[in-house]
Amino acid sequence: MQNVELKAELRDPPLARAICRAIGASFILAFEQTDTYYRIPTGRLKKRETDGEPVEFVFYERPNRAAPKLSTFTIFTAEQALERFGREPLPVRVVVRKRRELWMHGSTRIHLDSVERLGAFIEFESLVTRGNPVAKAQDAVGELRRHFGPAMGELIDCGYADLLERELDGNVPIGPPLLPPG
């Protein structure tokens, strides 16, 4: 599977929620999530734990750049992940904990995230399907970027795991204030 995604600092969470409502996005739910990232030779692998949901493993490949990017991913059950990646424990890279608000605008997910130790972020993910090809997904993400511009800060060129590793190494200051509950 593929999606087009874009991530940025979120400087004004209340404004972002107001924009969601103004453009007709639907609030789906808010939840806590823990992603454990593993060191693997190629690509990225994370174990995603969400309260009330089965554990899933997400393997993905995506370039690091501060722009909309195409991500290719596969979601595995725990048993499928053991078959694919082996039964020996994998070395843990980093653990990311976040509170996520999920909104939907058409076929595009809007994430308002509060990431432990890093701060508040906004992310757009438009799933690529036969009815939503890459060009259409890119357009959807671009449209949301324009709408949310006043609430957004700098674009982020990497994932939360990369940011957290930098912060833990002392190379990146702690990000914007945490996203308060909605």
What integer pLDDT is reported at residue 182 of this predicted model? Answer: 53
- Domains in the chain, please, with CATH? 2-168 (2.40.320.10)
User: Does position 177 have pLDDT exceeding 60, yes or no?
Assistant: no
Q: Is the pTM of this model over 0.75?
A: yes
pLDDT, one tens digit per residue, over 10-57 is: 999 999 999 999 999 999 999 999 999 999 999 999 999 999 999 999
Q: Quote the Cα angle for 76-81-85, to 5°.
A: 135
pLDDT, one tens digit per residue, over 104-120 is: 999 999 999 999 999 99
Give residue for tokens 């909104």.
Answer: 103
Burial grade of 78 (CB within 10 A; 0-12, 13-18, 19 or more): exposed
Share of the chain above pLDDT 70, in %: 93
Burial grade of 170 (CB within 10 A; 0-12, 13-18, 19 or more): exposed
- Within 10 angstroms of residue 41's Cβ, the number of other Cβ atoms is 4
pLDDT, one tens digit per residue, over 71-104 is: 999 999 999 999 999 988 899 999 999 999 999 9
